[in-house]
Amino acid sequence: MNYFKGKVGPALIAEIGGNHEGDFEYAKELTQLAISTDVDFIKFQLYTGDSLVSKIESGSRNKHFKKFELTKTQHLELAQMVADAGINYMASVWDLDMIDWINDYMPVYKIGSGDLTAYPIIKKITGKGKPIVLSTGLSTEREVMDTIKYIQLNNQIYNSHENLAILQCTSMYPIKSNDANLSVMQRFSTLTNLTVGYSDHTEGVDALQISVAMGAQILEFHFTDSREGKEFRDHKVSLIPDEVRMLKDRIKLIQTLKGRSKKEPLAIEIENNHVQSFRRAIYPIIDIKKGTIITPVHLTVLRPNNGIDARDYYKLLGKKATTNIRQHDQLDWTMFE
């Protein structure tokens, strides 16, 4: 199964992340709201303050993450809620000990930007042999390629575009439009031949829509119930349910407009005779007498493309007329030697 193919094209990941701010009842409310939008994945973050941040080196950040902690039982209940709704559960697992007990609920692992260089965590995740989505905020191109190589060396299933996806991301909340750098996706695609996508930290849905038009196969965005009156930074860059539904509608339109990559006349063009009526053929611009040697002064190109195609204009020059021809008459090769 290719988990990177979503219901409306790109796989849509609604990240609740830390927006519950440690309130389990609120976490369940957000989960139910996300379920109602019928995205492809609902994503969380699994950690404890002490397993993520040094309380000596960064005491305030350690306390911040402690406030946002949920218990193992609570995380498993949220995972079960998502699974029972027929939606894929996903999490950034920032604690090595949590990987084993959440694994049964994880069809796909997410490695966040901050863990792109956390090789011990990456190694354990690759050992599970499940698809991986890798975000690349904070990183140089070389660091991204080194981590991709490390993942693939640990498990060769990650040579496949169905098992490893790379997301363009800028790790600020929010970012300005000129920091989205969506073109990086195309660079990743060229370098890796892997699935590429976009993890959004802008405000609104413009970057997400444009990223789809540029080829994003995965979209990750933060999700909340409302941005009003919220102090935690992630709410500001989060979509609310109606915006997710609108985004899905816009993606359907973008996919329709993108259409097929093979260039050929469409049935509607052929049925309306436009291939002939819009194109030009060669016509006499003046009356031509029998025996006349044809030069540019005798010819023009006009619609419709009846008779001798305009592409044969230069082949007709120098030919001798074998009959009298009237101005604007349809031509055919039997009129010339």
Alpha-carbon span 182 to 208, nearest angstrom: 9
- CA quadruple 179, 182, 184, 185: dihedral sign: positive
Could you tell me if 102 and 231 lie in one domain?
yes
Are 35 and 147 in a shared domain? yes
Counting the structural domains of the chain, the total is: 2
CATH number at residue 142: 3.20.20.70
Q: Say if residue 313 is in the same domain as residue 246.
A: no
- 13 and 135: one domain? yes
CB-side neighbour CA atoms (13 Å) of 71: 5
Residues 247 and 280 in one domain: no
Average pLDDT, the chain: 97
Percentage of the chain with pLDDT > 70? 100
**pLDDT the model gives residue 222:** 96
157 and 134 part of one domain: yes
Domain boundary among 258, 288, 318: 258
Structural domain of residue 321, as residue ranges?
Answer: 267-335
Structure confidence by residue, pLDDT tens digits, 280-317: 999 999 999 999 999 999 999 999 999 999 999 999 99
**d(C-alpha 235, C-alpha 225), whole Å:** 9
Cα(26)–Cα(264) distance, rounded to whole angstroms?
53
Same-domain status, 134 and 207: yes
Of 194, 225, 258, which residue constitutes the final position of a domain?
258
Residues 244 and 287 in one domain: no
Q: Which residue has the tokens 């693939």?
A: 152
Span 14-52, pLDDT tens digits: 999 999 999 999 999 999 999 999 999 999 999 999 999
Say if residue 254's pLDDT is above 90. yes
155 and 96 within one domain: yes
- The region, left, alpha or beta by phi > 0 then psi within -120 to 50, assigned to residue 133 is beta
Residue 232 reports pLDDT greater than 90: no
Predicted confidence band at 99 (pLDDT cuts at 50, 70, 90)? very high
CATH of the domain at 303: 3.90.1210.10
108-154 pLDDT tens trace = 999 999 999 999 999 999 999 999 999 999 999 999 999 999 999 99
> What per-residue confidence (pLDDT) applies to 229?
84
Q: Which of 216, 235, 258 is the last residue of a domain?
A: 258
| Contact call for residues 78 and 52 (beta carbons, < 8 A) | no
In a shared domain, residues 118 and 71: yes
Residue 238: pLDDT band by 50, 70, 90 thresholds? very high
Q: State whether 163 and 232 are in the same domain.
A: yes
Based on the fold, state whether residues 221 and 296 are members of the same structural domain.
no
Compute the Cα dihedral for 56, 58, 59, 63 and give only its sign: negative
Cβ neighbors of 173 (< 8 A, separation 6 or more) are 201, 233, 234, 236, 237
